[in-house]
Amino acid sequence: MDKILVYGGHPLNGTVRVSGSKNSALPILAAALLTREPCVISNVPDLSDIHYMLQILSHMGASVERASGVVRIHAEKIKTEAPYDIVRKMRASVCVLGPLLGREKEATVSLPGGCVIGDRPIDLHLKGFEALGAVSRIEHGNVKIFAGELRGATVNLRGKLGPTVLGTDNVMMAAVLAEGTTVIESAAAEPEVVDLANFLNKMGARIEGAGTRRIVIHGVSELHGTEHAVIPDRIEAGTYLVAGAIGGGDVRLIRADPTHLGSVIEALQKTGYSVETGADTVRVRGNGAPRPLQLTTEPYPGFPTDMQAQMCALLCQGSGISVIRETIFPQRFMHVSELKRMGADIALDGHTAVISGVGKMSGAPVMASDLRASAALVLAGLKADGVTEVNRVYHIDRGYERIDEKLIQLGAKIERVKA
C-alpha cells in the first residue's frame, strides 16, 4: 500500500493538463452496453475506478480494448448480472443497471453498500425504473430488476438532499430504449449528465433538456455505435486551482472548461485570489493568505460538495472565521480530524464547519478517509511546515490521475513510497 509524502513550503508555478472527467467517463462507459455496435471513447482518465468499470464490462461479456486514454467497447452479447466481488469496489458500478434494463429488460447487480461519506441509497434509481414499468426487489444483497416492456413516463427524481446525478444517468439510459416519451423532473443538471446525454444522442437517442431540471427522452428502437471524447474533469481542475492558491505561485490549467468552474472560481476570487480564464484555460495566482469565506455546497451550478474538503484545507491557512455548510452529504467531514492533526482549528456543528484560520499548519502523519479528503490533505501539506505523510492513498488514485506527478511538475516536493 502506497503513501504520499508532501514536503511543505515549495511554491507552485507552471502548467498542468486537466484529465478527462471520472464522473462522466463511468456512466458513458456503461452506456456502451446499450448497443451491439462498437463505441470508441477518448479522453478516458487512468484511474482505479475506471479500471474497475472496465473489469465489470468485460465480466458482462463486452470486448474491451484500451490504449493511451482511448477505450473501445464492443458489447455484441452481454450477461445481465454483475457480482459482488467486482461491484463492491466502486459504488458507481450501479450505473450499469440502466443500460441493462434498457437493452435486455432485466438486470441483477450486487449492491455496493454505503461509503465513508454517508449512506447513498439507490431508492430514486429504482423509483425511476418502476415508473417505466419495471419491477425491482432486493434479494441476497442483489438488486433484481425485470420488465416485460418499458414505457415512457414522468418521474420526479428529487431526493431530500437534492437531485441525484447517478439516478438521473441511470433512468436516462433505461429510457432511451423505452416506448414513448419519458420526462425526468428535478433532474440533475451537472455537466457530466450533459456529457452522457450528448454521447447517447450520438448513438441515436433523442434527449432534450440535459443541463436543466427537466429532461425529455423520446424512446427509440435501437442505438448504434459512435465515437465520443469525455469532458475535462471539473473537480480535478478545481483541486489544482486550490493547490495554486495554497502554493502561492502562478498555476495555469490547460484542457479545462471554465464554464463548468463558475462557483469554484467565484469562491477563490472572494477569498482574494486572481483567477483568469480563456477558452480552455484557467489561471490562478497565489497572493497571500485567503480572506474568510462563507460557503454552502449545493447541486450544480452551486458550489460542489466534491470541492468542500479542498476549500476547507485552503481556509485553514488564512485568518479570521470561515463557515462551510455541507448540504449534499452532511457527514462529509472526515477530513476535519486529520486537518486538526496538522494544527487546524475547526469546530463542527452538525453539517457546518466553523474554521478559525491559523495561518500556518505543520506536517503530520494523516489518514485519507475518502477520495476528496485525501486530496485535501495533500493540498494542506503543500504549505505546512515539515513533512505531511498521507496514508491510504488508494483513495486518491480513484479520482486523480497521477496527482503526485502533476504537482511535482508544478514545483511541489512530493514522493510516493511503499507504506
Burial of 323 from C-beta contacts in 10 A (0-12 / 13-18 / 19+): middle
3-state secondary structure 154-212: EEECEECCEECHHHHHHHHHHHCCCECEEEEECCCCCHHHHHHHHHHHHCCCEEECECE
Sign of the Cα torsion 361, 366, 368, 369 reads negative
Distance CA 134, CA 381 (A): 49
Helix, strand, or coil (residue 251): strand
Sign of the Cα torsion 81, 83, 86, 87 reads positive
Distance CA 374, CA 416 (A): 14
The set of catalytic residues is 115
Type of residue at 89:
K
Helix, strand, or coil (residue 361): coil
Q: Which three cell numbers stand for residue 419?
A: 507504506
Instruction: Report which of 107, 104, 177 is spatially closest to residue 135, judged by C-alpha positions.
Output: 107
Q: Which three cell numbers stand for residue 60?
A: 458482462
Distance CA 264, CA 237 (A): 10
Counting every residue written for the chain, the total comes to 419
Q: By the 8 A CB rule, do 292 and 324 touch?
A: no
- The C-alpha angle 61, 62, 66, rounded to 5 degrees, equals 135
